[in-house]
Every structure is written in C-alpha cells, then in structure tokens.
Amino acid sequence: MNETSTLLSRAWIEGEYRIDDLSGVMTPALAIYPEIVRSNIDFTLQLLGADPARWRPHVKTAKLESVMRILVERGVKQFKCATTLELLTACHAGASDILVAYPMTGANAIRARQIAAECPRVQISALVETPAQIANWKGSRVALFVDINPGMNRTGIEQSQFEEILAVVNAIRASGLTFSGLHYYDGHLHTPDLQQRITEAHRGYDRLIEIVRRLESSGSPVAEVITSGTPAFPATVSYPAFTNASFVHRASPGTVVYGDVSSVGELPSDYRYRPAAIVLSRVVSHPRAGMITCDAGHKTLSVDAGVPNCVVLGHPEFRCCRPSEEHLPMEVSSGIPQPAIGNILYLVPRHVCPTVNNFDHALFVRNGRIESVELVSARGREAPFAGVTAARAS
C-alpha cells in the first residue's frame, strides 16, 4: 500500500484529479474522470493486440450506462454481467453480446429469458454446470457456456472432471440450444509475486487447452473461451496458445476500466492504468491529536478487500483506519498538520467495484470542472418481481 500511495501522490501533484469548485457538492460523492476511463480502455485494447473482440469486460465494475457506452464507442461490444439489472443496462448501452456470468435459476432465469426476448438484437448467454440447469433455458434464444472451476471453488465443474464437462456439452447440444464455449474465471490468483502468478495461471490454461482439444476430438467444437479477471490479466495476454487459436479467446477484466489501489499494486509496474473513480470526502472531526475523521464509512467505501480500504491522494502520510457505517477515521503522521474540518479529501478505493455500487450518482469531471451528473444505472438490483409475473402469465 505504501508504494501505491506514493504513486498516487505523484498523480495528485500533477493535478489531474483536481476539481476547482466543490462548494455546492454534498459528500461523500463519487467522481469519475471519463478521459482517464478512455485511457484505461485504450491501454487494455493495446495489450489485446488492438482487437476489441478479444475483451469481454465484466460490467459489475463499470455500472454506469454512460461508461458502458464509452466501451461500445471504442469497439468493445461483448460484456459479462452478474445481475439482470446489469444485463438490461448493457443492452441499453449498445452491447451486442452479453454473458450472464452467474448461475441463474428460478425467477432470475425467467427474468433473463424475458430480457433476451425483449432485446432480439443482443446475443445473450448464460452459464451452466449441470445437465439439470439446461432446463432453465430450453425454448429460449439464450446460448450457454459451460462454467469451469479453475480452483477458485466458487462455481463450475472442476477442470479435472472432463467426463462431467462433456456430459453437459452433450446435453446442451441435445436440447437444441447453442453451446457457445467455456467460461474459466481464475480470480483466485492473487499471488503477490507476479511471475509466480503467471506460472500458476499458465498451468491452468494448459489444462483448459487440453479440455478444448478433447471436446473437439469428441465432435464438439468450442467457439469461445473466456478467461481472466484483472489480477490474472498479464497471464492471459502472455499465454501464446490463446493467439491464433481454433476458438475466439476473450479476457474479462473489468476493474481496469476504473482502476483502484489493488489493481495498481497487482499489475506490472509498466502498465499504464490510473484510477478513474475517486471518492470525495470532507473532514468532519478532529477527535484527538493526530487523528481526523471524514464522512466516508463502509457504506461509502467497501471494506471487503481489508483495511486500509483506500488511500488519500496527495497524502501518503494519512493512514486510514477501520471505518464504521458513516465515519472513516485516519491517523496523521506526527508533525504533519491536520487538515481543517470541512477540507475535501480525494480517496482512491482499494476495491472500486463494490464502492461504485454504493452510489446512486457520479460526477463526471474533466479539466477540473464537473461536466455532468450521471446515474449509476446498474447499481443494486431490479425489483424482486420485475417482469417475472407477466412472463409466467404468458
């Protein structure tokens, strides 16, 4: 965190995050810098050989329809999502191909099918890991990916169980639905040693390629293979078998659109990602000497990645402590002047994805000015009965 904090301090000194007039802005507030978003997108595309078709970003990070539209403008039209609200938002943003990368059952599957019917120009896909799950999608235009468990032990078929994988693929084809490919999310690879992380990821990709080869030999060609969140992204772009493969390979990092403290620390030092989503917070108290408190508790900045859950731009000497619901205490190093009550602090989240989900609105900032206030369109979830009652009745 110290090295990351120093890096972000340099960005602060360069002034690219400044907002000239915050007198009328209530805090905490989410500020997004669209020019930095575009820079992060462009660098991701550069790593993928300038081919937008090789990126399927997870929009759980982007969350805003306006940011998804920036991706579409850059040629990225295939996304991943986890909720029906994200699915609907991505459809409205102009996506042409969306994978619901989350096990959908019951009313959730009914709603996803309904959205697919309402958006016939968008190819919508879902994940399955057992033959029984295929029944959720029969009679729909939803295509199916088989979810492979690479060792994260969250969802999917263990990659060593080829016969189970083959059985699901065969069941998809027998059902009349489209078998679109394999989904392989290696999000558990967070080893601090980057080369070790790459080695572990490549070992898994070797097994994945073997699964593809055996499926092809059994008469089931694989159209697409999806790998990699943000920490494993360097491993995916450096794996030679994903280039000029018999299938379309797509990487799915989403955090890189905004960047955060964790991604700056986990990615190679020569990667040019910068944080594009900042939390604005005011100092509200001086509870004791060497301690300040600002208005950005865990209902503002996610703590799922641990404490400290953010760094303060321009102030590596401020150490964020454990927050409560609305308060974020900070220790100030000895001899450092305390910022006055009412001063604005610019906070970079340690984990930006759930942090963005805490806000209803975002300020779009360019050249020190607030240009617009944008709705965080895919925040939270749809209403529990959204469309489902009507779908069942029909």
Instruction: Give the DSSP letter string of 5-73.
Output: HHHHHHHHHHTTT--S--TT--SSEEEE-HHHHHHHHHHHHHHTTT-GGGB--BTTTT--HHHHHHHHH
Residues 196 and 121 in one domain: yes
Residues 58 and 13 in one domain: no
Tokens of 7: 């890096």
Residues 211 and 328 in one domain: no
Tokens of 240: 């030679």
Name the DSSP class of 224.
Answer: E
Average pLDDT, the chain: 94
Residues 56 and 186 in one domain: yes
Structural domain contains residue 381 = no
Q: Show Cβ contacts of residue 2 under 8 Å, excluding neighbours closer than 6 positions.
A: 316
Domain limit, last residue, from 200, 225, 258 = 258
Structural domain contains residue 133 = yes
Structural domain contains residue 238 = yes
Residues 22 and 43 in one domain: no
* Domain enclosing residue 367, as ranges: 2-31+270-375
What pLDDT shows up at residue 14? 58
Note the Cα 73 to chain centre separation in Å: 19
CATH of the domain at 217: 3.20.20.10
How many structural domains are present in the chain?
A: 2
Tokens of 230: 């943000």
What pLDDT shows up at residue 264? 83
Structural domain contains residue 104 = yes
Domain limit, last residue, from 229, 258, 287 = 258
Residues 68 and 110 in one domain: yes
Residues 58 and 192 in one domain: yes
- Give the H/E segment covering residue 271: none
Structural domain contains residue 387 = no
Structural domain contains residue 62 = yes
In this structure, the chain runs to a length of 394
pTM, two decimals, is: 0.94
CATH of the domain at 11: 2.40.37.20
Structural domain contains residue 337 = yes
Residues 317 and 340 in one domain: yes
Structural domain contains residue 83 = yes
Evaluate whether 61 touches 254 at the Cβ level (below 8 Å): yes
Neighbours of 103 (CB within 10 A): 19
Residues 241 and 309 in one domain: no
pLDDT tens, per residue, the chain with 394 residues: 555 555 555 555 557 899 999 999 999 999 999 999 999 999 999 999 999 999 999 999 999 999 999 999 999 999 999 999 999 999 999 999 999 999 999 999 999 999 999 999 999 999 999 999 999 999 999 999 999 999 999 999 999 999 999 999 999 999 999 999 999 999 999 899 999 999 999 999 999 999 999 999 999 999 999 999 999 999 999 999 999 899 999 999 999 999 999 988 889 989 999 999 999 999 999 999 999 999 999 999 999 999 999 999 988 889 999 999 999 999 998 888 999 999 999 999 999 999 999 999 999 999 999 999 999 999 999 999 887 665 554 5
Closest by CA position to 85, among listed 67, 106, 103, 100: 100
